[in-house]
Amino acid sequence: MRAHVEIRRLTKRFGETVAVEDLSLEVQKGEFITLLGPSGCGKTTTLRMIAGFVEPDRGEIYLNGRFLNNVPAHRRNVAMVFQSYALFPHMNVFNNVAYGLKLRKKSRQEIGKRVREVLELLNMEGMEKRYPHQLSGGQQQRVALARALVLEPEALLMDEPLSNLDAKLRVAVRNELKELQKHFGITTIYVTHDQEEALAISDKIAVMKEGILQQLGDPWEIYRHPVNRFVADFIGTANLLEAVVEKSGPGFVELGIAGEHILISREGLDLAIGQKILINIRPENLRLFKEPTHVMSEITVKGRIKRNTYMGRTIQYWVQMKDGTELIVEEHAPETVLDGEIYIGFDSKHIEFVSMERKCWV
C-alpha cells in the first residue's frame, strides 16, 4: 500500500540559500509525524510546500496517491494550523470555523451542525459569537484547530501551533492535541523546534538540519540511537565524547575516553584498534558517588564537581574529568548538593555509539 502522504526528493532554494534539499518522506494514514529542527532547517518550508504556498524547485508531493504539485493551494484539502493562528479578525468564532464549509457550499443546517460539533469537541461551545481578539491565546488556538478539523481534511498540517502559549498550557494542549488526532485518525504533519514537544507528541520524528533530513524514526530511536552528533546533541542533553578503540575482540571493546580506559561488553561491534569514534552518554544515566567502592555501577571514573544547577525535580552537575573534559550529570529528586571530588558511575549498556562524520555506528 502506498503511503498517505509521500514526498519524493523535494528541493527548494531561495536564491543562494538551500531551504530543503532532496527530502524524501512517507507518512502513513493516521500517522503523526513531526518535522523537528532548529530555525532555518527547512521544516516550515516543507510544510508550506505541502500546503501549496511555496512551489518546490524539484521533487514530487503525493497525497493519497494524487499528484499534488499542480494543484493550487485552495484545492488541496490539507488543513493548516498556523503559528500565528491566522484567525480572521473580522469574523466571529462561528464564522471563522464555518468559513471553509461555506466555500464548499454546504447547507446552512450542515454547517451549523458541524461547527457546533467541532466546537463542542474542543470545549468551545458558547463562544460562537466572540471575536478572536476577545479570546485568550489558548482559546484562539482551539478555534484555529476547529477551523482546520471541521473540514475533515485528508491531512492536517501544523506549524509550531503551541509556540505562542505559555509553558504550562503548552503541555496541556499538546496532550489534548494528540488525543484529538487519535480521535479523528487524521494524518498529521507537525512542525516544531522543541525537541521535548516532538518526543511527547509524535509517532515519528524527522530531524532536519540545513534543509537535509538527518534521521527519521520513532521517539525511542531518535533519543536512544541518534545517527550523528547533530541529532544526539539536538535531542535532549548529550555528553558527546571522542573515544579511541584500544582493544577489540569478540563481544567486547576497550575504549580510551577522556583519559580513562573503559571496557564494554557488547555483541556485534566491528571496530578496528586505533579507530576514533564518537560516543554519547545521557546525563540521566550517570550517577555520582562519594566513595569509589560500590556495586551499583559497572564502570566508575573519578571527577570533580565544577558547578551545579538546581531545578527542583532534578539537579544538574558539571563534572570535570582527569583530562579536563566536562560531563553533565543529572540526578533526580536530589536530597543534598554534592561538591568536590566525586566518582561517576554508569553502565556500559548506556554508552551509545554515534557516527563519526560519514560513518554510522548504530
Partner 1 sequence: MDMRNLKIRTDFLSISIIAILATVLVIFVLLPVLKVFTYPSFEEYTRIIAKARTIRAVKNSLFITCLSSITATLIGFLFAYAMNYTKIPGKRLFDGLILLPLLSPPFVVALAWVLLFGGHGLITRQLLGIRGSIFGWHGLWIVQSIAFFPYSYLIIDGVLKGIDPNLEYAAKNAGANGSHVFRTVTLPLALPGVLNALVLIAIYVLADFGNPILIAGGWPVLPTEIYGRISGHYDLSGAAALSSLLLLPTLLLFILNRTLLRGKSFITVTGRGEGLERPMAGPFTQWCLFAFCALLTSVVVLVYGTLLAGAFVKIWGINWTPSLENFQVLKGVRGESLLNSLFFACFAGLGAAIFSIFASYFIYKKTFSGKRVLDFLSLLPAAIPGVFLGVGFLLSFNSPPLVLSGTAAIIILALMVWNIPLGYQACTAGLEQIGAEIEEAAMNLGANPIRVFKDTIFPLLRSPFLSGFIMGFLRAITNLSIVIFLISPGKSVATVEILDLIQYAELGPAVALTVVLFTIALAVVGIARLLLRWSFGELKGLKR
Q: Which lies closer to partner 1 via its Cβ, residue 100 or residue 219? A: 100
Per residue in 29-48, is it b (16+ CB within 10 Å) or e — as a string? Answer: eebbbbbbbeeebbbbbbbb
Q: Scanning residues 88 to 147, which ones bind partner 1 (CB under 8 A)?
A: 88-90, 99-100, 103-104, 131, 133-134, 147
Cβ-contact 257, 240 below 8 angstroms: no
Question: In terms of Cα–Cα distance, which of 229, 224, 213 is closest to 360?
Answer: 229
**Other CB atoms within 10 A of residue 155 CB:** 21
In the list 10, 23, 51, 180, the residue contacting partner 1 (rule: CB under 8 A) is: 51
Residue type, 54: V
Considering beta carbons, is residue 133 or 332 the nearer one to partner 1? 133
Q: Nearer Cβ to partner 1, position 41 or 319?
A: 41
CB of 42 or CB of 217, closer to partner 1: 42
53 binds partner 1 (CB under 8 A): yes
Q: Which is nearer to partner 1, 83 or 316 (CB)?
A: 83
Find out whether 42 and 206 touch, Cβ atoms under 8 Å.
no
Cα 181 from Cα 32, distance rounded (Å)? 8
Query: With CB under 8 A as the contact rule, which of the stretches 3-11, 81-89, 116-124, 320-328 interacts with partner 1?
Result: 81-89
The residue among 14 and 310 lying less far from partner 1, judged by its C-beta, is: 14
Estimate to the nearest angstrom the gap between the alpha carbon of 234 and the chain centroid: 9
d(CA 200, CA 64): 27
Q: What are the grid coordinates assigned to 25, written together?
A: 518522506
Q: How far is the CB of 7 from partner 1 (least distance, A)?
A: 16
- Residue 293, number of CB atoms within 10 A of its CB: 7
User: Rounded to the nearest whole angstrom, what is the least distance from the CB of residue 144 to partner 1 in the complex?
Assistant: 8
What's the closest the beta carbon of residue 90 comes to partner 1, in angstroms? 5
Partners of 224 in the β-ladder: none
Element (H, E) at 208: strand 204-209
Pick from 27, 36, 111, 151: which binds partner 1 (CB under 8 A)?
Answer: 151
CB 3 to partner 1: min, Å: 22
* Residues from 153 through 212 that contact partner 1 (CB under 8 A): none
Rg (CA), the chain: 25
> Which residues in this chain contact partner 1 in the complex, by CB under 8 A?
12-15, 51-55, 72-80, 82-84, 86-90, 99-100, 103-104, 131, 133-134, 147, 151
